[in-house]
A and B are shown apart, each in its own frame.
Chain A
Amino acid sequence: MTVKNIFHLSFLAVAVVTLNTACTFEQDEFFDETASLRIIHENQKLQERLVSESSDEKHGWVIQYFVAGTDDAKFEGFNLFGRFYDNWKVTLAGNHRFLRNGNANKYTEFTSSYEMLAEEGPVLSFCTWNDILTVFEDPVDPSAAPRTISPNGEGMKGDHNFVLKAFDENEILFRGERHTAEIRFIPCDRTWEEYIAATNEMKNQVATSTLPNYYVTNGTDTMYITGLYKGVVTYGDRVYDPLVKKTLSCVFTPNGFRFNHPDSLVNNVFQEFTLTEDQTRLLSEDQQTQIIACWDTYIVDHTAVWKIDEESFTDVQAALFTQISAELKKYNANYSLESIGWGQSSGTNKVTGLVLSFYTNAAKSKTNTAGYAMTSSRPAFGQLLLKKPAVEDEEKIDKNMTTIGNKATGLLSLTRQFAATLDGKYNMTPDSYFLPKSALFTAIEGGSTFKTK
C-alpha cells in the first residue's frame, strides 16, 4: 500500500464518520407538536371551556374587567357577564355607568362576534363592537360620557383583545393586548341579574361614602385604604396625606370584593377579600390580612350626637336626667329634656362633649341642644376615652348652656355631675361594623357602661 493509498483510505474513513455525525438529527422535543399547533389546540380548548359554561343549564361567565386607565383618570373594576356560543357569537351584559343610549346603570345585554386568534399565544378577541365592552376603549372623553360623547383620542384604555395568561376549572385570566387591561373570567353561579343584586347588596353593606376609611392589618402591621365605595382605593400608610400610597381598583363580589391585581402588606399577599360570617371584617384568601372599617374613629370623631339609651342609665344618671329636665323647665315651662348624649352641640359657640337635647315646645315638635365640653379620644383600636375637664376653670360650655344656666342656675352643676359619670375608658361594640348607627360602650376604666340609641 502506497502512502497515497493510505492517504485516500484515511480520508475516506474520516469523511464517512464526519458526514454521518453531521447528519445525525438530535433535537430534544419538549412538546408533542409545533408551537403553532399548540396555540390552535389551546384556542380550541379555551373556546370549548367558554362555551361549556354558557349552556342553558348554566349561567355563563362573570367577567371582572379592569381598564388600564389614563394618567389623569383611574377607574373602578366592572362586573360584566358573558355567554359564548360555538358559532362565534357572544352575548355580554352589564349595568355600568358608561353604557350609552340612555342605558347608564341599567341592566343591558348586547350580542356581537368573538374570535380565537393564534398570535404569540391564544387571544380571545371581541372583534365587533359591543355596547357593554367596547365603550371602554372608545377614544372619547370618559368624564363627559355617556351624556356627551366627544373624542379625546385616548378614552379609558380598555382592551377588546384578551391574551390568555392562565386557565383552570375555576377561572380564566387574561391580559389586555394593547393596554394590559386586567381581566378575570369566573363561572357565574346564579342569574346575571341576581349576581348584580348580590354585589350591589354587598357594596351597600361594606362601602359607603359616609365611612370611607379602612384598616388593612395582619395583626402586626397596619395600612389604610380609602374610597372603597368608588371602586378605586388609595392604599397608603395613613388616611390623610399618605407618604406611601398606590391606587388599586376593585370589583365587588357577592361575598366581598377583589382588587385588580395582588398586593401585599409586608409579606402577606392579598387580592380578594370575603366578608366574615360575623360581618365584622373582610378577610383575604389566606385569612392573614383583614380589612376593617375605621368604625371606631368614625364613632369617636363623628360630629353627630350619640344619644344615650335611658335604659342603660345608672340610678345616678337616671336621677340626674330627671333633675336636669326639671331645671330646664325653670328656664321655660315648655322645655323638657329629650336625651343626653355625647357629640357636638348646635348653635353658637358649639362644643364637643356632653350634649343635652331638649324640646322647646309643649308639643315636643321642636328641639335644641346645650353643650358641655368633654374630650374624646381613641386610646386603642375599638376604645373610647371620655374625659371631663379636671378643674372647673377649664370648662367650656356653649351659648345655650350659658343662657339657660343664667336662669336655671343648677343646670351646669347637674350637667357637670352627669359628665363625671361618663368620665372613663370604654370598649366599643357597634351595631354595624361598616356604618355604625349605635354602639354599646362597656366601661373598662372608670365611667359606667351605656349604650346609645
Chain B
Amino acid sequence: MKKIFYILMGAALSLTVISCGSNDDFTETIFDTETPAVDQNAATAPFDQWLYDNFVVPYNVEIQYKFNFPASNLDYQLTPAEYKKSQLLSYFIRYLFYDVYTLYGGEDFMKKYGPRIFHFIGSNAYSPTTGTEMLGYASAGVKITLINVNNLKLWTEDNPYTSADMELLNKDQFHTMHHEFSHILHQTKSYPVDFGQITPGSYDGRDWQKRDSVESNLLGYITQYGSSATYEDFVETLSCTITDTDCRWMHAIVNACLNGGVKEGDKVRVYELIDSLEISGLDDPAKNWNNFVIYKESALNEETGKYEETGRYVPSFPNSDHRTDAMGHAETTLKYEKVTEFKSFRSFLDNWVEIDTSSEVKGINAILKKLEIATKWYTERWGLHLFEIRREVRKRQVNINDYLRNYVTIYDYQ
C-alpha cells in the first residue's frame, strides 16, 4: 500500500508540473535587442559614432548630450544643451581630462575609476530662493552632470579661444569635473583623517556661501565651497591645484597671508608652492598680483553709530577680472581705510607679512598643510603627481587652438 501511495503521489506531482508548464508561453521580450549601438540613420550619427569610438569603447563612458529628464535635478529649472556646444565640450573632455589621466595614470586608470556617465545641461542651475548657482554635481561616483554648456564659445578660426575663454571653461566645466572626479577617487581610496583635523572648527555646511574669498582663504580654505565640509575641502584643494589660473592662486595666497597664520618656514614654502604651480611673472610688474593695495576693514556698529575695525585686512587688485575680492561685495555698512600698497609680491611677503607665533592653524599655513596631505595621497594612493597633472592640463590649454583646428570636427545635423 505504501508503494502504491508513493507511485500515485509521483504521478500526481508529474501532472502538476505538466499542468504548470503548459501555461509558460513566453511573450515577446520587452528589451530592445535589435538596435545597434550607433544608429547610422540618425541625424547625429557622425557625432554618436565619434562618442562611441572615443568614450564608449575605450572607457565605457556614456556622454548624455541629449537631456535626460528623469535623471536631471528637479530642484532646478534646467534646459537641454546645444548640439554643437555638446560636441565641443566632448572633445574638451577627451583632450583635457581623459587623455591627461590616461597619460599619467595608464591605459586602465580611467576605465576603472572614471565616471560612467556625463550628463550635459544647457542652462545654468540657479536657485530662485537662495540665489546660489550650482556649477555641476556628481551622483554616487557614477555620473557627473555638467551645467551651463550653452555658455561655451564655439570656436572658429576668426574667433579662437583666449585665456579668458579657458578661464571660463575651467570655472564652468573643468573645475567641476576635477572636483567631482576627485570625489570618486577619495570614495574609492579614502584620504587621511588628518586632513580634516587641520581646520576642524570652521567648516560650515549651512552658511559657507556667506563667506567671501578673503575670509575663506584666511581661515585656511582654498575656496568658499571648500569651507563647507572636509571632503569638499579635500576635492577643492585637488581641483584648484589642477585648474586654477596663476591669478586665482596668487590672489588666494595674498588673502591667506594677510591676516596672520604665516608660521616659521611658511614663506619659503609659499615660494616653493609658487614654483610647483609654475606661476610665471613673480617679478613682472605688469602682473596684478604685484600691484595691490591693502585696506583695513571697519564695520558700522548700529548701536553706537560708529565704525569699528573688524580686525582684518582686505586686498584690492586693480584691473582684476578674476576672483572678486571681498571689497567687490562690500556691504554699505563696511568701510575701508588704505593701509599700504605694494608693487611686488616678494616685497609684500618678505617685508610686510609677519610670522605668526600663535598655535592657531589658519591661512596659508593651513592651506600648505592640506596641499601636502592631498599631493602625498595623490601620489601614494594613485601614483599620480598633482602638479604634473596641472602642468599637462595647462600645456594642453595653451595649445587648445591648435587642437581645435587640427583634430576637432563639429557636425551639423545630417
Contact = CB atoms under 8 A, between A and B. Distances in A.
Interface of A: 2, 5, 8-9, 12, 15-16, 19-20, 23-25, 33-34, 36-37, 40, 85-89, 111-113, 115, 117, 119, 125-130, 134, 137-140, 151-155, 157, 160-161, 177-178
B43 A113 contact: yes
Interface string B70-88: 1000101111111100100
A89 B133 CA distance: 32
A5 B8 CA distance: 13
A85 B44 CA distance: 12
Contacts of A86: 41
Contacts of A9: 5
Contacts of A87: 41-43, 414
Nearest to A157: B77
Given A15-B9, A85-B43, A23 B16 contact: yes
B193 interface: no
A125 B122 CA distance: 15
A139 B81 CA distance: 13
Interface stretch (B61-69, B271-279, B280-288): B61-69
Given A15-B12, A151-B133, A137 B79 contact: yes
B255 interface: no
Contacts of B20: 23, 25
Contacts, number: 126
Contact of A8 (B5, B39, B41, B42): B5
A20 B15 contact: yes
A133 to B, nearest CB: 10
B64 to A, nearest CB: 9
Nearest to A5: B1
Given A128-B86, A152-B128, A178-B69, A138 B44 contact: no
A139 B77 CA distance: 6
B19 interface: yes
A153 B66 contact: no
A397 to B, nearest CB: 60
B60 interface: no
Interface in B119-169: 122-129, 133, 150
A125 B68 CA distance: 9
Interface residues of B, number: 48
B42 A129 contact: no
Contacts of B5: 8-9, 12
B359 interface: no
A125 B67 contact: yes
Contacts of B23: 23, 25
A75 to B, nearest CB: 15
15 contacts: A15-B9, A23-B23, A37-B30, A85-B43, A87-B414, A113-B43, A113-B44, A113-B413, A117-B69, A128-B67, A129-B150, A139-B124, A139-B126, A151-B126, A153-B77
B42 A128 contact: no
Nearest to A12: B8
Contact of A153 (B15, B70, B127): B127
Complex A-B, nearest 4 residue pairs according to Cβ-Cβ distance, in ascending order: A153-B128, A89-B43, A127-B66, A25-B23
A160 B79 contact: yes
A129 B122 contact: yes
Contacts of B69: 117, 125, 161, 177-178
A36 B31 CA distance: 9
B82 A129 contact: yes
A128 B77 CA distance: 15
